[in-house]
Amino acid sequence: MEITSRDRFWMNNKLFQLFRFVVLNLKILKAVDHSKRA
């Protein structure tokens, strides 16, 4: 695996990162949803 210049572009593209921010939060919420019901 290599971090390419294309990867670097997307890693700092604000709009794409906003989308990833939402996705990452959804992932965390899915995991803690189970925990909150424990």
Give the binding site for other proteins (CB under 8 A). 1-3, 10-12, 14, 17-18, 20-21, 24-25, 27-32, 34-36, 38
Q: Give DSSP secondary structure letters for 1-38.
A: ----HHHHHHHT-HHHHHHHHHHHHHHHHHHHHHHHH-
Amino acid at 4: T
Question: Smallest gap, in angstroms, from Cβ of residue 35 to other proteins?
Answer: 6
Question: Smallest gap, in angstroms, from Cβ of residue 32 to other proteins?
Answer: 4
Question: Smallest gap, in angstroms, from Cβ of residue 5 to other proteins?
Answer: 11
